[in-house]
Amino acid sequence: MSRLDKQSIVAGPGYSGWLIPPAALAVHLSIGQVYAFSVFKNSLVADFDTSLTAIGWVFSLAIVMLGLSAAVLGTWVERSGPRKAMLAAALCWGTGFFVGAAGIATGQLWLLYLGYGVIGGIGLGIGYISPVSTLIKWFPDRPGLATGLAIMGFGGGALIASPLSNRLMGAFDPGFVPTEPGAVASGSALSQTFVTLGVVYTVFMLIGAALIRVPPGHGDDQTAEHSPGTNGALVRASKATRTPQFWLLWVVLFCNVTAGIGILEQAAPMIQDFFRVGGVSSISAAAAAGFVGVLSLANMIGRFVWSSLSDRIGRRGTYVMYLGVGLVLYLLLALFGSSSTFVFVALAAVIISYYGGGFATVPAYLKDLFGTLEVGAVHGRLLTAWAAAGVAGPLIVNGFLDQAGEPGSLVAADYRPALLTMAGVLAVGFVANLMIRPVSDTHFDDDAHAANEDRISDRLGATR
Amino acid sequence: MSTDANTSTAPTTDPATTSPLLIALAWLLVGIPLAYGLWQTLVKASALFTG
């Protein structure tokens, strides 16, 4: 048994649960950098002398690998425990930056794809799910709050990485002034920034790995007392993916993410286009960047606030809000968004807070449906919906906008078909959410269920 | 929070109680960068109303 194994990281009786959220945050704040990848885009395009699309693939590849690795490695993460998983995530995420830096330094774009996109993407997937089931086990009565806190970190990671990366590039290349339009950092500054970020994130994530513990009694899944879902459900990941509930929730997550990405992907040009009269927008480039900042804050806050609320109003009701109210807000945005900047920003901010909330609440929804037996592995498989939505969302929006006209000449009405389509997507998710019922006991793991019942009886007997 | 003290599989070397200093340091470790990111984003977002 190594010091990385789950059995070795069972918390002592006096170990404080207050150390678990920062351990999880250390990982999620680090991997959340992926959402700030766009700060490198212009510099990478100039350095590799290639297209925006070619550089955009680095990010897309990382998100697809996130979904795939979470799905494929979820069971390994669940069985190995959070420390080994966090270590693996730290090594992959750090190596991704180092290989990416080598690619930039040698002018080999494929190395950037392999490093940041593939190796880093695997680190993202493992890192994203690594603390989730542990948090649910530590805080079984408030799973929404616990996972919301960690997944809020994923949103917060981009808020840190964006200004930090600009500062690093400016430090390594004094000629680079990020506030100047069209500013690009040199290849040398880019590769040094990648190396620095790789070192910082690896160390940060390793600290999280050192702090993490599983709750007392959870060193061995066979003998641990699990928190069952509704009606006593304890379902293994392999069986969960054969239930209609899993696929209905997959559709729910897919629809919620697709609709949110539609706005996020296009945020800065969108606000300028909505307030364009006579070919001139009343929103400056700086104000448009400010709008992106507002959405980042809404995304982060929504993850914590709405997920915590779900502990009180239930997971189904929370998704009724995300998808039902979200649908109405999308319609209002399409019809009245251009009436005033305040209305536009307020509607978009609430929509994006629901987008973030959808990510943060889903582990607790899974816990309610399938119990904590292999909730991390089920969560990993569900994240394929994210990868799929990451492709579908931008495709829908860009498809409509490409037909409407050239970038820089679009107006609010050009967005209407895309926004109405997104309202339709949310309607599909809304219906799917309403169709979710508790899992039939035919899917329960009989052995785990019986053993768990015995352990609960023994514990209750011992405390009488 | 889980309070089950079943330690049948716990070969832990953790001290009997967790130092409040360690808890504070752990939260500062994640809180300071997050506060920096939040502040920078608020500054950026303020351009929406002033820019």
pLDDT at A464 over 70: no
Cβ-defined contact of B2 to A17 (cutoff 8 Å): yes
Residues A267 and A189 occupy one common structural domain: no
Domain harbouring A37, CATH code: 1.20.1250.20
- Of residues A9, A216, A292, nearest to B6 (C-beta): A216
Residues on chain B touching A38 (C-beta within 8 angstroms): none
Residues on chain A touching B40 (C-beta within 8 angstroms): 159, 162-163
pLDDT at residue B7, as a whole number: 42
Last residue of a domain, one of A197, A219, A241: A219
pLDDT at B1 over 60: no
- The answer as to whether A457 is a domain residue is no
- The answer as to whether A454 is a domain residue is no
Instruction: Give B11's pLDDT tier (boundaries 50, 70, 90).
Output: low
pLDDT at residue A52, as a whole number: 80
Cβ-defined contact of B47 to A22 (cutoff 8 Å): no
Question: Would strands A280-281 and A276-277 be described as parallel, antiparallel, or unpaired?
Answer: antiparallel
What residues of B are in the A interface, CB distance below 8 Å? 1-2, 4-18, 22-23, 26-27, 29-30, 33-34, 36-38, 40-42, 44-49, 51
Last residue of a domain, one of A192, A219, A246: A219
pLDDT at A336 over 90: yes
Residues A336 and A442 occupy one common structural domain: yes
A241-255, A261-275, A356-370: which has the minimum mean pLDDT?
Answer: A261-275
- Of residues A140, A160, A289, nearest to B47 (C-beta): A289
Q: Which residue of B has its CA nearest to A2?
A: B11
pLDDT at A446 over 70: yes
∠ at Cα A216 (A214, A221), nearest 5°?
65
Q: Distance of alpha carbon A299 from its chain centroid, rounded?
A: 10
- The answer as to whether A59 is a domain residue is yes
Over residues A58-65, mean pLDDT: 90
pLDDT at B18 over 70: yes
**Of A329 and A5, which is predicted with more confidence?**
A329
Separation between Cα atoms, residue A296 and residue A31, nearest integer Å: 16
- Per-residue pLDDT of A194-216, as tens digits, reads 999 999 999 999 999 999 999 99
B40 three-class SS: helix
Inter-chain contacts counted by CB atoms under 8 A, chains A and B: 153
Nearest residue to A441 via CA among A369, A363, A377, A378: A369
Over residues B30-49, mean pLDDT: 91
pLDDT at B45 over 90: no
Residues on chain B touching A29 (C-beta within 8 angstroms): 30, 33-34
- R_g (Cα) of chain A, nearest Å: 22
List CB contacts of A75: < 8 A, sequence separation 6 or more: A237, A374, A377, A380
Domain that holds residue A89: 18-219
Separation between Cα atoms, residue A194 and residue A452, nearest integer Å: 47
- The answer as to whether A224 is a domain residue is no
pLDDT at B2 over 60: no
Max avg pLDDT among A81-95, A168-182, B10-24:
A81-95
Residues on chain A touching B27 (C-beta within 8 angstroms): 18, 22
Residues A314 and A202 occupy one common structural domain: no
Q: How many domains does one find in chain A?
A: 2
- Of residues A7, A14, A284, nearest to B9 (C-beta): A7
Separation between Cα atoms, residue A254 and residue A390, nearest integer Å: 9
pLDDT at B31 over 50: yes
Q: What is the mean pLDDT of chain A?
A: 92
Instruction: Give A397's pLDDT tier (boundaries 50, 70, 90).
Output: confident
- The answer as to whether A11 is a domain residue is no
Cβ-defined contact of B18 to A286 (cutoff 8 Å): no
Cβ-defined contact of A15 to B18 (cutoff 8 Å): yes
Residues A54 and A162 occupy one common structural domain: yes
Residues A117 and A29 occupy one common structural domain: yes
**Of A409 and A260, which is predicted with more confidence?**
A260
Please tell me the pTM assigned to this model.
0.90
Task: Suggest the residue from A6, A33, A160 to mutate for an interface test with chain B (most B CBs closer than 10 A).
Answer: A160
Residues A124 and A205 occupy one common structural domain: yes
pLDDT at residue A463, as a whole number: 61
- Of residues B2, B9, B44, nearest to A290 (C-beta): B44
How would you classify residue A220: left for phi > 0, otherwise alpha for psi between -120 and 50, otherwise beta? beta
pLDDT at residue B30, as a whole number: 96
Nearest residue to A240 via CA among A104, A119, A74, A118: A74
* Cβ-defined contacts of A456-459 (< 8 Å, 24+): A456/A225, A459/A225, A459/B4, A459/B6
Task: Suggest the residue from A5, A18, A463 to mutate for an interface test with chain B (most B CBs closer than 10 A).
Answer: A18
Residues A50 and A165 occupy one common structural domain: yes
Residues A387 and A242 occupy one common structural domain: yes
Residues A48 and A179 occupy one common structural domain: yes
Residues A36 and A83 occupy one common structural domain: yes
Residues A205 and A347 occupy one common structural domain: no
- The answer as to whether A2 is a domain residue is no
- Of residues A12, A15, A293, nearest to B44 (C-beta): A293
In percent, the amount of chain A with pLDDT more than 90 equals 70
In percent, the amount of chain A with pLDDT more than 70 equals 99
- The answer as to whether A128 is a domain residue is yes
**Of A400 and A349, which is predicted with more confidence?**
A349
Query: What's the complex ipTM?
Result: 0.87
Cβ-defined contact of A12 to B10 (cutoff 8 Å): yes
Residues A277 and A151 occupy one common structural domain: no
Tokens of A230: 């509704």
Chain A: nearest CA to B32, how far in angstroms?
10
Residues on chain A touching B9 (C-beta within 8 angstroms): 7, 10, 217, 219-220, 223
pLDDT at residue B4, as a whole number: 43
B49 three-class SS: helix
